[in-house]
Amino acid sequence: MLDEKYELRYLPLFYEELDRDTSYIAFNLGNPDAANNLLDKVAEAILKRLEDGPEIAAPVPSKKDRKHSYYRIYVNEYIVYYVVLEEKEKKVMEVRRFLHRLENRDEKV
């Protein structure tokens, strides 16, 4: 565990995408247990990365010019994208996107 502390923040878009996909699993596929399991795994993976240090992972290569590098966490068939921000005297792990591996990520991230 790192000595440096990070604040955790989520963008509304992350919650929208997470809700979209877990609702699809629960209602369209009729598998609420799998949806709840995915929610648990996503939460655990994000908190583990926060504990281990958000910048421990390599930044995601990008063709776009970005102010902040994106990082990713793989959870089952999904990818959680986040950035690390420096605000005043603190660092923030800001979780931004939740996308399926088969989605066109180049246009969205």
Q: Where are the domains of the chain?
A: 6-108
Question: Residue 1: its pLDDT value, please?
Answer: 45
pTM: 0.92
Instruction: For the chain, 109 residues long, give each residue's pLDDT as a single digit of tens.
Output: 446 789 999 999 999 999 999 999 999 999 999 999 999 999 999 999 999 999 999 999 888 888 999 999 999 999 999 999 999 889 999 999 999 998 877 777 7
Residues in contact with 83: Cβ distance below 8 Å, sequence separation at least 6, in sequence order: 68, 69, 70, 71, 93, 94, 96
CA max distance for the chain: 46
Q: Does domain 6-108 have CATH number 3.30.70.980?
A: no
What was the pLDDT predicted at 3? 62
| pLDDT single digits (tens) 91-109 | 999 999 999 998 877 777 7
Contacts of 104 (CB under 8 A, 6+ apart): none
